[in-house]
Amino acid sequence: MCDRATFITIIIIKRGAVAGFRAVFGGREEEEGPDVESQGRTERRSDTGQGATSEKMLTNISNLLRACAHRHVSTETVVSARTYADFTTQATFEIKKCDVHKLDEAPATQVVMTRDEGLQYYRVMQLMRRMELKADQLYKQKIIRGFCHLYDGQEACAVGIEAAINPTDHLITSYRAHGYTYTRGGTVKEILAELTGRRGGIAKGKGGSMHMYCKNFYGGNGIVGAQVPLGAGVALACKYQGKNELCVCLYGDGAANQGQIFETYNMAALWKLPVIFICENNRYGMGTSVERAAASTDYYKRGEFIPGLRVDGMDVLCVREATRFAADHCRSGKGPIIMELQTYRYHGHSMSDPGISYRTREEVQEVRSKSDPISNLKDRMLSNNMASVEELKEIDVDVRKEIEDAAQFATTDPEPPLEELCNHIFSNNPEVAVRGTNPWSKLKSVS
Amino acid sequence: QVTVRDAINQAIDEEMTRDERVYLLGEEVAQYDGAYKVSRGLWKKYGDKRIMDTPISEMGFTGIAVGSAMAGLRPICEFMTFNFAMQAIDHIINSAAKTCYMSAGLQPVPIVFRGPNGAAMGVAAQHSQCFASWYAHCPGLKVVSPWSSEDAKGLLKAAVRDDNPVVVLENELLYGVSFEMSEESQSKDFVLPIGKAKVERQVLLVTASGSHITLVSFSRDVGNCMDAAAVLAKEGIDCEVINLRTIRPLDVECIQTSVMKTNHLVTVEGGWPQSGVGAEICAKIMEGPAFNYLDSPVTRVTGVDIPMPYAKILEEHTMPQIKDIIFAVKKTLNV
């Protein structure tokens, strides 16, 4: 349960009052007095030292209103009358319980999120959202070509998972990989430039949408389901090398029916590999709904002898908590575990799929309005006084700028040079000759 | 005198001692000592962690092997025969061979795929296919195929030390064959270069009136070529026998040099003729300087273009025999 702030927030919505806000309060101040420090419990504003702060607040509010009165006022004003020192630094949230399979315990349903965490999750999810929308735009302008599988709607999964694992852990996923490329360490610039096929792309333009790699991130895989045995192999290497690392191995509801996944379940359980199998169930494998593809849609139970969790994939805190639980399971040597994240993609399967022939517009709208991971996080933070509308808007502006800059780079960076056509066939190899399209065309490949 | 089987065993043993990251996985490789006893004694020496018996799940365990190579290990992935590797071929090509390129060099895949390839005896169609041209088709893979014990040891050691995916096509019928091994090849650091063929039998003297010809082959058929060469020598025909050792990258220079000397070429392989290794050699010779030195078109001796039958007489007539090689040589030389 979360406590509400005891002072009143005046919210009058108006366009263009941002400057006014700044004029009154100046730049950001991060004053943390003892009365706002958290001591592992939730904040109750009615406690210590509140009197003085309230008075200061009221003065500020009246100053601002006076300032507004002298301006041309239209119907709406945005004012959040606080300094950052007045925000709740952490709060406890009640989250949805997970369904479990072959487990005696389940992830906690009461979780703590700090203000800093919230802001971070918000920023990353918003950035991923905007990045995918920018990709959509660039694709329609024919600046991105080929395959482009967008992740918008599913942000809570990538962000929640990354929040619960270490950078030294490993992750592999399918072709719907742009979000994970970011959370695992790629920059927006590198990702967009890879989509536009430029030399500044994360794979130098050689891979494209489905083949992006970075440290401890193994792509981006084009063959449906192939990433699952690969991920178990990464986990085998983790166990073999004894570094207490694990591998998060993602696949979709469509891939969940691949035979090689069941072969992998068997070996991972047999050898107790530290792998978290995660099924991102977004209800549709391309145009086929789960009911039409699977005899059993309880994907978290499909591992039979492997314990499983079914998780609300639209709630970043649910995903984080479940992943923490799963990671503990793996790290304690108990072997693999399966998580099914119930999530949703707003776009169709890929850019060539409008996404409304096998599902209704109403369904998409409903998910967007009720379950959007970013909106829900925002609401949580605002209603728990963990951030201001203003602050979040600033983040939005900042994110937009980052995406714009990256898109600018991605559209102006030159394409890879032809001299590099044949490079990187092999690693750590002496130079080799490569036959071109005809016998006189003798190209070369360096590692 | 060392059998091919023992030479392979030595290679695996030495490479596992040398580098902790090297491990062997496959069906029956551990407690059974290997389906063909190639890995005899290794499980006893290295234990469960490094010699891993897998369930019968080629696609799964090959993917696992490739994933482990991506994350820092150096697996030797054994297929009981390459016929079963067809179930896993997606991982060999799409997950292993192409990844270094797709990642622009960020993600190497140091893995070895090995096992028996091609015809055995009496095992019929599904267990007798030669996959040399299938794998040799693909950039990103290196494909080797040993004949002698020295080949088997040196090429496998080179394959393990290579940071890229290497397919090693062995031959079940060669496992029990003994070869002399040189002093040098008994060293723990003996490796053979991938991409270099060996002239097993050299034509030393070329005369204007003499009959000379180059025979090119790999794996078991090298032995057949050597036997044919011995018979032909008695009839005054001098054969230069080239053991390819590596199918991809093909050592075209070695073949060219030989053809420019002998003016005639016959390729010998166990696989089917269409789009086979011999077809590739023909194309490469035509594109290079050796073409002008040919006194007749190249001849390919191949397996018969049918699925392998079971009955002994039928099977014998499906694979190239020594008499087929001799016949082809004489036709090519027009004698």
Q: Where are the domains of chain A?
A: 90-416, 418-446
Phi first, then psi, for residue A179 (nearest 5°) are -60, -45
Residues of chain B contacting residue A263, judged by C-beta atoms under 8 Å apart: 55, 57, 59-61
Q: What is the pLDDT of residue A398?
A: 98
The dihedral of CA A194, A197, A200, A204: what is its sign?
positive
**Percentage of residues in chain A with pLDDT exceeding 90?**
80
B192 located within any domain: no
Residue A277 sits at φ, ψ, to 5 deg, of -85, 125
Three-class DSSP category at B179: strand
| Identity of the residue in A172, A428, A434 whose CB atom sits nearest the CB atom of B163 | A428
A207-258 pLDDT, tens digit each: 999 999 999 999 999 999 999 999 999 999 999 999 999 999 999 999 999 9
- Res. A2: pLDDT tops 60: no
Same domain for B25 and B165: yes
Average pLDDT over residues B234-256: 98
- Residue B261 is predicted with a pLDDT of 96
DSSP code of A309?
E
A90-416 placed in CATH 3.40.50.970: yes
Nearest CA-CA distance, residue B26 and chain A, Å: 12
Q: How far apart are CA B331 and CA A246, in angstroms?
A: 63
Residues sharing a CB contact under 8 Å with residue B225, sequence separation 6 or more, in sequence order: B200, B215, B217, B239, B241, B268, B325
Asked if A355 reaches chain B (Cβ–Cβ under 8 Å), the answer is no
pLDDT at B234 over 70: yes
pLDDT digits (tens, 9 = 90+) for B153-164: 999 999 999 999
The pLDDT of residue A83: 59
Adjacent-strand bridge partners of B178: B3
CA atoms within 13 A on the CB side of B76: 30
Sequential DSSP letters for A101-165? ES-S----SEEEEEHHHHHHHHHHHHHHHHHHHHHHHHHHTTSS-S-----TT-HHHHHHHHHHS
pLDDT range class, residue B207, cuts 50, 70, 90: confident
Q: Which two tokens stand for residue A98?
A: 């997970």
A265: nearest CA partner in chain B: B60
Helix, strand, coil percent content, chain B, rounded in steps of 5: 40, 15, 40
Which of B158, B186, B214 marks a domain boundary?
B186
In-domain check, residue B191:
no
Q: What are the residues whose beta carbons fall under 8 Å from the beta carbon of A161, sequence distance 6 or more?
A: A171, A183, A248, A278, A319, A320, A323
The pLDDT tens digits for A88-133 are 999 999 999 999 999 999 999 999 999 999 999 999 999 999 999 9
pLDDT of amino acid A153: 98
Stretch B254-258: mean pLDDT, rounded? 98
B235 contact A CB<8A: no
pLDDT at A56 over 60: no
User: Measured in Å, how far apart are chain A's first and last C-alpha atoms?
Assistant: 57
Please, are residues B146 and B245 in contact by the beta-carbon 8 Å criterion?
yes
Can you tell me the distance from the alpha carbon of A31 to that of A87, in angstroms, rounded to the nearest whole number? 11
pLDDT of residue A86: 82
Q: How high is the ipTM of this complex?
A: 0.96
Q: Is residue A37's pLDDT more than 90?
A: no
What's residue A63's pLDDT? Answer: 57
Smallest Cβ–Cβ distance between B49 and the set A204, A226, A240 belongs to A240
Give a yes or no: residue B298 inside a domain: yes
Final residue in a domain of this structure, among B127, B156, B186: B186
pLDDT in the model for residue A226:
98
Nearest 5°: CA angle at B218, between B212 and B220? 105
Tell me if B266 sits within 8 A of B214, measured CB to CB: yes
What mean pLDDT is reported for chain B? 97
- CB of A438 within 8 Å of a chain B CB? The answer is no
Say whether A233 and B139 touch across the interface (CB within 8 A): no
pLDDT tens-digit readout, B12-28: 999 999 999 999 999 99
- pLDDT tens-place string over residues B140-155: 999 999 999 999 999 9
The pTM (predicted TM-score) of the whole model is 0.88
- Give the minimum alpha-carbon distance from B328 to chain A in angstroms, rounded to a whole number: 28
Comparing A2-11, A355-364, B39-48, B278-287, the range with the smallest average pLDDT is A2-11
Q: Where are the alpha helices (DSSP H) in chain B?
A: 4-18, 42-46, 58-70, 82-85, 89-90, 99-102, 132-136, 149-161, 220-234, 252-262, 277-287, 312-316, 322-333
Q: Look over chain A and give the mean of its residue pLDDT values, rounded to a whole number.
A: 87
The whole-number pLDDT of residue A66 equals 56
| B65-84: pLDDT as tens digits | 999 999 999 999 999 999 99
Task: Return the number of other C-beta atoms located less than 10 Å from residue A359's C-beta.
Answer: 16
Are B75 and B12 contained in the same domain?
yes
**DSSP 8-state class, residue A381:** H
C-alpha dihedral, A254 to A258 to A263 to A264, nearest 10°: -40
The pair of structure tokens assigned to A435 is: 């036959």
Nearest Cα to A225, choosing from A247, A253, A258? A258
Q: Give the strand order in the sheet containing B237-243.
A: B198-201, B237-243, B211-217, B265-268, B299-301
Chain A, chain B: beta-carbon pairs less than 8 Å apart: 146
- Chain B closest CA to A232's CA: distance in Å? 6
- The pLDDT of A39-62, averaged and rounded, is 45
Write down the pLDDT at residue A38. Answer: 36
Q: Give the residue-averaged pLDDT of A257-279.
A: 98
Task: Report pLDDT digits (tens) over A129-164.
Answer: 999 999 999 999 999 999 999 999 999 999 999 999
| Cα(B174)–Cα(B150) distance, integer angstroms | 12
Across the interface, whether the CB atoms of B106 and A214 are under 8 A apart is answered yes
Measured distance CA(A99)–CA(A154) in Å, rounded: 20
Q: What is the mean pLDDT of residues B283-308?
A: 97
**CA A420 to mean position of chain CA atoms:** 33
Residue A11's SS3 state is: coil
* Nearest Cα residue to A154 out of A173, A169, A138, A137: A173
Same domain for B51 and B163, yes or no, is yes
Same domain, B176 and B222: no
The shortest CB-CB distance from B249 to any of A206, A432, A447 is to A432
**How many CA atoms does the CB half-sphere of A413 hold within 13 Å?**
25
Q: Hey, what are B201's tokens?
A: 């039998």
The Cα angle at residue B285 between residues B279 and B287, in degrees rounded to 5: 105
In a domain, B193, yes or no: no
Query: Chain A residue closest to B73 (CA)?
Result: A237
Give residues 276 to 335 of B whose Cβ lies within 8 Å of A. Answer: 287
d(CA A394, CA A139): 27
Q: Which domain holds residue B41?
A: 2-186
Domain count, chain B: 2
- Which CATH number covers residue B269? 3.40.50.920
- Residue B116 shares a structural domain with residue B142: yes
Query: What pLDDT shows up at residue A24?
Result: 36
pLDDT, mean of residues A180-193: 98
Question: Do residue B59 and residue B168 come from a single domain?
Answer: yes
**Residue in B closest to A172 by C-alpha:** B67
Rounded percentage of chain B residues whose pLDDT exceeds 70:
100
The answer to whether A272 faces chain B, any CB pair under 8 Å, is no
- Render pLDDT for A297-347 as a digit per residue (tens, 0 to 9): 999 999 999 999 999 999 999 999 999 999 999 999 999 999 999 999 999
Look at residue B209 in the predicted model and tell me its pLDDT: 83
